[in-house]
Amino acid sequence: MLSFKKPDVEQFFRTFAIEDFAVSPDEGQLVFSTNLSGKFDLWAMDLPNHFPYPLTFNGQSCQAIRYDKHGRFLVAGFDRDGDENSQLYALQTQGGELLPLCVKEGHRHMNPILSEDGKRLYYTSTKEDPTYLSALCCDLKTGQEVSVLQGSGDASIFLVDVSPKEEYLVYVKHFANTHAPGYVCVGDKHVSLDPEAEGEYTVNDCVFTGDSELYFLSNAGGDFTYLAKFDIETETKTKLLELEGIDFTSVSYDKERGQLYLTASKGVSDHLYTYDLDSGSLGGVPLPVDVVTSLKVAESGNLYVLGRSSVSPTNLYKKDRLAEEWTSCTHYVVPGIAEEELVRPEVLTYPSFDGLEIEALFFRASEESSNGHTILWPHGGPQAAERLAFRSLFQFLVNRGFNIFAPNFRGSTGYGLSFCKLVEGDWGDGPRLDNIAGLDWIAENGYADRDKLLLMGGSFGGYMALLLHGRHADYFKAVVDIFGPSDLFSFIESVPEHWKPIMNKWVGDPVADKDKLTAYSPITYLDGMTKPMLVIQGANDPRVVKAESDQIVKALTDKGANVEYIVLEDEGHGFSKKENEMRVYRAVLEFLEKAIQEAPAGVRS
C-alpha cells in the first residue's frame, strides 16, 4: 500500500481565494478576482462552462469589478502591492489592456457605479483632499470630472448608490464605524433617510426599486439593522422588517419576482431571506456557505453568491431562480485533503469578567495529531468578528496538532450596535480581559491546558497579542504578532489621512486621553514581554505602518529579548501573494514548534 507524507504548509496554502466577482447582464460571462496563478488577477468563465481563463496579468489585488449595464466593458479597481490605493481602469470583456479611468498616485478610488447608459462613472475618492473621502463623477468620453458630494474634516462621504435616472445620490457620512447616517441628495437638498433618528446609528446598504423608491438597511433607534423604505418624493421613511438578534447586511432587488434578497448576520454565520414587495411576506433561502462575501441578482432573477464555510475555501455558486439547489461555479478545495478531514469548530459561549456573554470558536485537533497546545487568536478589526469562514492557517495548524481558540470579544460585529460600540475608546481593557476570561474558562472547562497556551493575532489581533504578552506573559509560551500596532500614539498619527477624523472616538485623543493611551499601548510593557516572539510586517502596509513593528522589535532587541522579525517588501496589510503567505506561515509553524519544545514545563505558577 502506498504511504503519503503528512500534508505540508503548501497543500493548505495552495487553496485559492476570490476577492470579488461580477456577472455580465446576459449571464454569458462570470468575471472574478482570484489568485489562481499565485497572485491576484481577473479571470473569467463563459457560462454555462466553468473553465476559467485570465483577463489581466498585473498580479494585483482587485477592490471592485463592475460591468457596463449593456455588457460592453468592465470597470475594475487595482491597488499596488497592498498599498490599498485603488486606481480605476476600464477593461474589454475579453481582457487585455487596462485603460486608466480615474487614477492619481497616492490616492484611493473606490465603489465605482456606472450610469445606465455607461457614459458616466461615479466613485468615492480621496483625490480632492487626502483627509477625507468625497464623491466624484467622471465623463468617460471626455475624461472631465466633477465633484458631486463633498466630504469634510469631521466625516468622509461614501457614495452608496445612484438612482436609475441619476436624479438622486444616496450616501453615508462616516463619523465612526458605529456612526454613519444615510442621506439622499436631491439637487442641492440633502435629506436624512432616518429623519426622526437621534443618537448614533449606521446605514449599511440600499437599493432603488424605482426612480424615487428606495429600500435601505438601518439600525437607527435600535440595536440591530432592519429593512426600511424611503419615498424620496414625500421624504417619508417606513420601517418594514426587523428580526430579533439579526443584523441585515446587504439588500438586492429581484425585479423579475418583485422581491428583495436580504443577507443577514447572526454571530458567526450568515443567512439569506426574501422579502416580497407586494405582500410583505418573508421567506428563507438555504445557503451553500456559512458566510456570504457577496451576493448578486441577475436580471433573470438567478442568484450568484460568493462565500465560504469553516471547511471550504471561498467559492462561487449559482442558483437558477426556479431551482431549489445551488450549483458550484468554482471548485476550490484544499489539494489532497478531503473536506471531512478538516475541522469544524465548536461554537462556545462564556461569561467575561463583568458577566458579558462572549461567543467564541474552538477548533480541536484530533486525538491522533494533538500536541496538547492551544493558540489564542484575537481577531482583527476590532469591529469585525471571527466567523465560520475557512482559514488555511487554522486548518493547517489544527492538522499539525494545535487547538485554536478564537473569541468574539466586545467590539465584535454581528452582536448588535451596542456590543460593537464597547471597544470604542477602550482598546486595552475590555477586549483584553474578555480574552483572558476566555482562557480561564477553557482551562476550567477542560478545553485547554493552562501550561500549554500560545498567542497569535493580526492587525488589531496583533496589537492584542502584543498587549497580552506585555501584561499577561505568564499565560503563554510564545507570541506571534502579524502587523499589529505597538504604540497607540504613533499609530494614531500614521494611519491613512482619511481615517484620522474618527481616531479620537475609535481609539482615543492623544492629549485628553494621554494616560489611557499610554496604559493601552503595548510598548509601555516591554519589561513584561519575556516570551519568544515572532513579528511579521508588510512594508507597504497603509493601516499599520512598518514603523509600528520596527520600533517594538528594536526596543525588545535592545533589551536582549528573543525576537524574530520578517518584513515582506511587496505586501501591505495582508498577503496578496501566495509565496509570501506560505513563507510566513511556514516560519510561524517552525517558530511555534520550536517554542513548545524548548519552553520548560509549568510556565505558569
CATH number at residue 574: 3.40.50.1820
CA distance 571 to 180: 30
The answer to whether 167 and 415 have CB atoms below 8 angstroms apart is no
Type of residue at 395: Q
Per-residue pLDDT at 599: 62
SS3 419: helix
Domain assignment present for 471: yes
Grid look-up 458630494 returns 149
Closest CA to 540 of 566, 571, 565: 571
Cell numbers that stand for 65 in this block: 469589478
Q: Bridge-partner residues for 291, per DSSP?
A: 308
> For residue range 322-346, what is the model confidence (pLDDT) as tens digits?
899 999 999 999 988 888 889 999 9
CB 214 within 8 Å of CB 184: yes
Is 132 a member of any domain? no
Is 500:509 a contact under the CB 8 Å cutoff? no
What proportions of the chain, in percent to the nearest 5, are helix, strand and coil?
A: 20, 35, 45
C-alpha cell at 160: 452608496
Q: Is residue 31 part of a domain?
A: no
User: Which residues of the chain fall below pLDDT 70?
Assistant: 599-605
* Cα 379 off chain centre by: 11
| CA 286, 287, 291, 296 torsion-angle sign | negative
Q: How far apart are CA 44 and CA 30, in angstroms?
A: 5
- Tallying the residues shown for the chain, one arrives at 605
pLDDT of residue 405: 98
User: Can you list the positions of beta strands (E) in 24-177?
Assistant: 29-34, 41-46, 53-54, 62-67, 73-78, 87-92, 99-102, 109-114, 120-125, 134-139, 145-149, 156-162, 168-174
| Structural domain for 493, as ranges | 350-598
Position 29 in a domain: no
Residue 417 lies in a domain: yes
Distance (Å, whole) CA 452 – CA 587: 20
Establish if 475 belongs to a structural domain.
yes
* Within a domain: 325: no
Crossing angle, helix 392-399 and helix 578-598, to 10 degrees? 40
pLDDT recorded at residue 331? 93
| pLDDT at position 605 | 34
472-491 b/e (C-beta count within 10 Å ≥ 16 → b): bbebbbbbbbbbbbbbbbbb
Residue 556 falls within a domain, yes or no? yes
Q: Could you check whether the bond before residue 48 is cis, i.e. omega within 30 degrees of 0?
A: yes
Q: Which of 505, 492, 415 is nearest to 177 (CA)?
A: 505
Angle at 486 between CA 480 and CA 489, to 5 degrees: 165
Phi, psi (deg, nearest 5) at residue 66: -135, 135
Number of domains in the chain: 1
Burial class (CB in 10 A: 0-12, 13-18, 19+), 320: middle
Backbone angles phi, psi at 117, to 5 degrees: -90, 0
With cell 500549554, the residue in question is 452
66, 58 contact by CB (below 8 A): no
- Residue indicated by cell numbers 489532497: 336
